[in-house]
Chains A and B, each alone.
Chain A
Amino acid sequence: MRLPRFEYFAPKTLEASLELLGQKGDGAFVMAGGTDMMVKMSHGRLKPRTIINLKEIPELHYIKFNPQNGLEIGSTALLSEVLNHADIIEHYPALIQAVQTMANIEVRNMATLAGNLCNAAPSADSAPPLMVMDAEVSLVSSRAKRKVKLMDFFLGPGATVKNVDEIMTAITLPAPRPQTGASYMRISARCGVDIAAAGVGVAIRLESEVLAEARIVLGAVAPVPLRAVKAEAALVGRQFDPETVQYAAQMASEEASPISDVRATRDYRKSMVAVLAKRAISEAYERSHARHS
């Protein structure tokens, strides 16, 4: 397919990028890794007039962690950098679970978390674990800065609350709290490298042995990553036991509203949500135990 003709800029500062984005208006797109955009462009599904590449901006390329403030990932940090970051491996294993199933080594060396979120595919692997862990994204325009909960970020396939003049500069996660745990489980037809047919992110917090808080987000089974509120409610205030988990998993499955497509049928996706939810809840519970102090 013919690649559209476009202007290309690679500014060195965030300020310059925002200015350009303002000037160019409609038809201008910012690009981080480009691994989704270039595919869309070569299939004729995206026809930008202007591309502003963020990868030359040093101030966006970082990963910061401290035990008080938590984690902050700049918008051009690579997936491979996230995957190999010692603090993320230690404190946010659910995010690692998601990133290691995303694409392959070559793509992870180019792609970014911010790009995965802004692309807003219903199957985006990074969304469910980040959402259940209370992630926020920083959106900056030449006029204003704001922080948005990732839970409120997605509007539909390819659509988000980010305005056309805004750039996502960072993703932040709160510091890990005691007795919390999170997990991400996904399934696809091909074991090695594949797009998720269904994914489930779970985060829980224990108070002694009671499930005090629960967050469950389902991927690839609705137009947006979907919060499973009934499944969450089925857990809160209860102790962890097989019946509770089974019931919550069943709720999650009922809340899912997947389509049938070339990757999987609606029925299979729904039943897989139950299996994945059960497994993810159990793993999040184990992790919350491990993080007692």
Chain B
Amino acid sequence: MKEFSIVGKDVPRTDAEAKARGSALYTDDIRLPGTLHGRILRSPIAHGIIKNIDTSKALKLPGVKCVLTAEDTPKVKYGNWRLFPETQDEYPLAVDKVRFIGDEVAAVAAIDRDTAEEALDLIEVEYEELPAVFDVASSIAQGAPVIHEYCPSNISVNRKIKYGDIEKGFAESDYVREDTFKFQAISHAYLEPCSALAQVDLDGRITLWTSTQTPYIVQCLLASTLGMRENDIRIIKPYVGGGFGGKMELRTWEFCAALMAKKTGRPVKFTLDRQEEFLAGRRRHPMTIRSKVGFKKDGTLVSKDLRIQLDGGAYNAMGPTATFLCGNFGAMLYRYPNYRFLGEHIYTNKPPASAMRGFGAPQSLYASEVQMNIAAEELGIDPVDIRLKNAQVSGDKIPDVATISSCGFSESIQAVAEMSGWREKRKSLKPGQGIGIGCYSFISGGVFNWFNTQYPFSAAEVRVFSDGTAHLLTMASDIGQGSDTALKQILAEELGLRMEDIRLTTADTAMTPQGDLGTWGSRVTLMAGNAVIDAARKIKQQLFGAVSARFNLNVIHDIECKNGRVQATARHDYGMSFGDAVAMVQKANRGEPLVARGSYTPRGKGLVTPAFGFGAQIAEIEVDKETGLVKVKNMWTAHDCGTVINPRSVEGQLAGSIQMGLGYALSEQMIMDGGKTLSLDFADYKMPTAMDMPPSEVVHVDTFEPEGPMGAKETGEGLASPTAPAISEAVYHATGYRCKDLPITPEKILNATRDKAE
């Protein structure tokens, strides 16, 4: 393993102290004089035509400064899949029709939040209710109501993948099974509800502070929906309290804040409350997965036929990407010589599902992993051994996707089995106790350019100064995952500086270099990290030139940036401080500041991802056989994220993944009555708390990803997948109940074990 001085160390997070002290400013904390407060009027019905909206009473309420309906807007549709404009199906405010309970119909800005809230009650909307559909089967049935005129089938996107010959594969298999899995919607439940604050200057340019994962996407889509030029809109991402995929699109309140600021000349702020977040917020896709797999007697996978229906809710949102990726996740992790996938994204009259940590992997891998466990049992093979037999390894080709470069999957399986005492515990646990395994593979950022950006996927600008400091500017967005710290570490490592020598400006579309597609798909460390290294190396070229000239170095000398110096690697006395070297370059360039731009765009890497992360996780649980309650007693994880840039940060990602995985497996679900979400607060939406967290141990498998910055790749998002299948297998081990429709509630366990007893 390569030796680093800052990368790989437990460097404290750059945001830790501000967050611990409460001094970190989130969007809602920003106060501008004269700010108006906005609220959104939402549809109370699941499907209907808007016959009339009367805002006159609301406008007359003292303190109300602006009321918007679609009639006051340019009525331009938007969506993240700009490459395929027909998928852009959403208006900022409903035009003619509402499609789910919570759909945005109108907005009010007033001198305070209470007045805005009161004004909402004074807006009179006349609806003609239409029949609505709340599940995929009804939505694609004959004669089902059409949710979007352009899409009479209600199937908005489909994706097909096919290679090998699945029928031949099944014919050659000794063991074939088919299962159907169903998945519930869950909430991102980020701690910071969405918030946006817009200000307009005298030239009509807009600055928008917003809680977002994707400042560049918001900038572009805000420009197109407002009919403005992109450069006239500046998006600033302040501290963000989590996103998990739920904050990566243009949202109504961002649009309304900007347009209302333009109309009133005053700053306008919207902050959602938790109830709105639960009622109308994006969520993880409910899915129906039918999976048929064929194995040889010895456990070798031969064939897989996968059909997935995504319940997309009323709009596409990031559903097309989830549909696309489900097909890839279905064929990752193991070697599937014959594979067929059909994914369909289906509209229903429910709040739109969208990207959420894992982007289709938690569902698709749950199905893969549970079937792997069933097959292992029925073929009489240990679940660990059947995985080792089929595990992808470096050099494996996934047809039409990629060749896997670094891969520590088998090592992860072996390490986690070892550390958990798997082989002993599988045999010796008491009744009611169980141990189970789940694995994952995940992408390190996406390659498919659905947003159709003309800029590099990530960019960085590095400025260096004669006082020995550097300034890193990048649009990469830290939403709590720690990219600010990681990118600073990478730059400090590359330039031989300390963390405190680097000033950081991020995620401001007017100040940081174009472009960056944002924080999603575990792309930031790899892509922005590579952009930072690219810029730093250009700086180093110039510094090396100065040192070489100053000491008249033979051209065969290596030169390095280390410990605040620029020096010949073999002769440290042939060198000078970093600042002096910068000064020399500046002198040589007649005062010109030393600045370099770097970028990264994956090329020649197929259509999916430049690198894959891997890992395996084991859960040990105990089931109370009378109450059905599951207690997770221990979690062990071994994973391969390439070079670990910041161990503590990676462990934080792991802890967060386990917390989300526990919820997905055992307790979280959006409880719906038709189109109405009933779980509207944390009392009824059962997210695990700190007190539910099991002890956890982790091993980082040592690999080096050639495409990644200093060998690093994805971590944290892939980890969202293995927890549920690991717990599910442990529950089966403990009780004999095999769950194919998450979450594993106490009631399901009791019903299953009671049936078995009878």
30 A-B contact pairs sorted by A residue (CB < 8 Å): A1-B117, A1-B275, A2-B113, A2-B114, A3-B114, A104-B689, A187-B627, A189-B686, A189-B745, A189-B746, A190-B667, A190-B687, A190-B688, A190-B689, A190-B692, A191-B691, A192-B689, A192-B692, A193-B689, A195-B683, A262-B671, A262-B678, A262-B679, A263-B684, A265-B747, A267-B747, A268-B746, A268-B747, A268-B750, A275-B626
Encoded as 1 (CB less than 8 Å from any B CB) or 0, chain A from 182 to 196 comes to 000001011111110
A191 and B631 within 8 A (CB): yes
Q: A42 to chain B: closest CB distance in Å? A: 9
Contacts of B747 in A (CB 8 A): 264-265, 267-268
| A2, A187, A265: most-surrounded residue (chain B CB, <10 A) | A2
Complex-state Cα separation, A267 to B688, whole angstroms? 24
Give me the 6 closest cross-chain CB pairs, A-B, nearest first. Answer: A192-B691, A192-B689, A275-B626, A2-B117, A192-B692, A2-B114
Complex-state Cα separation, A36 to B152, whole angstroms? 48
Q: B115 to chain A: closest CB distance in Å? A: 9
Q: B668-687: which residues lie under 8 A (CB-CB) from chain A?
A: 671, 678-679, 683-684, 686-687
Q: A183 to chain B: closest CB distance in Å? A: 16
| B629 contacts the other chain (CB 8 A) | yes
Residues of chain B touching chain A, judged by Cβ–Cβ distance below 8 Å, are 113-114, 117-118, 273, 275, 626-627, 629, 631, 667, 671, 678-679, 683-684, 686-692, 745-747, 750
Encoded as 1 (CB less than 8 Å from any B CB) or 0, chain A from 169 to 187 comes to 0000000000000000001
| B627, B631, B687: most-surrounded residue (chain A CB, <10 A) | B627
Complex-state Cα separation, A271 to B113, whole angstroms? 46
Complex-state Cα separation, A271 to B628, whole angstroms? 11
Encoded as 1 (CB less than 8 Å from any B CB) or 0, chain A from 85 to 117 comes to 000000000000000000010000000000000
A191 and B273 within 8 A (CB): no
| B113, B275, B747: most-surrounded residue (chain A CB, <10 A) | B747
Q: Which residue of A lies closest to B113 (CB)?
A: A2
Given contacts A272-B627, A275-B627, contact A189 B667 (CB under 8 A): yes
A-side interface residues, number (CB < 8 Å): 21
- Given A104, A191, A265, which contacts B629 in the complex, CB threshold below 8 Å? A191
Q: B193 to chain A: closest CB distance in Å? A: 14
B690 and A192 within 8 A (CB): yes
Q: A8 to chain B: closest CB distance in Å? A: 17
Complex-state Cα separation, A187 to B747, whole angstroms? 12
Contacts of B690 in A (CB 8 A): 192
Complex-state Cα separation, A265 to B750, whole angstroms? 13
| A104, A194, A195, A265: most-surrounded residue (chain B CB, <10 A) | A194
Contacts of B667 in A (CB 8 A): 189-190
Q: A256 to chain B: closest CB distance in Å? A: 15
Q: Main secondary structure on chain A at its contact with chain B?
A: loop
Q: A1-47: which residues lie under 8 A (CB-CB) from chain B?
A: 1-3
Complex-state Cα separation, A1 to B279, whole angstroms? 14
Encoded as 1 (CB less than 8 Å from any B CB) or 0, chain A from 252 to 293 comes to 000000000011110110011001000000000000000000
Q: A187-B629, A262-B671, A272-B627 are in contact. List 7 more A-B contacts (CB 8 A).
A: A1-B117, A190-B686, A191-B629, A191-B631, A191-B691, A193-B689, A271-B750
Q: Which residue of B lies closest to A264 (CB)?
A: B747
Complex-state Cα separation, A191 to B621, whole angstroms? 14
Q: A37 to chain B: closest CB distance in Å? A: 16
Complex-state Cα separation, A54 to B689, whole angstroms? 32
Complex-state Cα separation, A193 to B747, whole angstroms? 19
Complex-state Cα separation, A263 to B627, whole angstroms? 15
Given contacts A1-B117, A187-B627, A262-B671, contact A193 B745 (CB under 8 A): no
Contacts of B687 in A (CB 8 A): 190
Q: B42 to chain A: closest CB distance in Å? A: 13
Contacts of A2 in B (CB 8 A): 113-114, 117-118
Q: B187 to chain A: closest CB distance in Å? A: 14
Encoded as 1 (CB less than 8 Å from any B CB) or 0, chain A from 56 to 97 comes to 000000000000000000000000000000000000000000
Contacts of B745 in A (CB 8 A): 189
Q: Which residue of B lies closest to A104 (CB)?
A: B689
Q: B681 to chain A: closest CB distance in Å? A: 9
Complex-state Cα separation, A56 to B392, whole angstroms? 67
B626 and A192 within 8 A (CB): no
Contacts of B689 in A (CB 8 A): 104, 190, 192-193
Contacts of A264 in B (CB 8 A): 747
Complex-state Cα separation, A271 to B747, whole angstroms? 10
Q: Which residue of A lies closest to B663 (CB)?
A: A190
Q: A103 to chain B: closest CB distance in Å? A: 10
Q: A143 to chain B: closest CB distance in Å? A: 38
Complex-state Cα separation, A268 to B626, whole angstroms? 11
Q: Which residue of B lies closest to A269 (CB)?
A: B747
Complex-state Cα separation, A272 to B275, whole angstroms? 30
A192 and B688 within 8 A (CB): yes
Q: B114 to chain A: closest CB distance in Å? A: 5
Q: Which residue of A lies closest to B754 (CB)?
A: A271
Contacts of B683 in A (CB 8 A): 194-195
A262 and B684 within 8 A (CB): yes
Complex-state Cα separation, A262 to B682, whole angstroms? 12
B671 and A191 within 8 A (CB): no
Complex-state Cα separation, A264 to B678, whole angstroms? 13
Contacts of A272 in B (CB 8 A): 627
- Given A3, A194, A275, which contacts B686 in the complex, CB threshold below 8 Å? A194
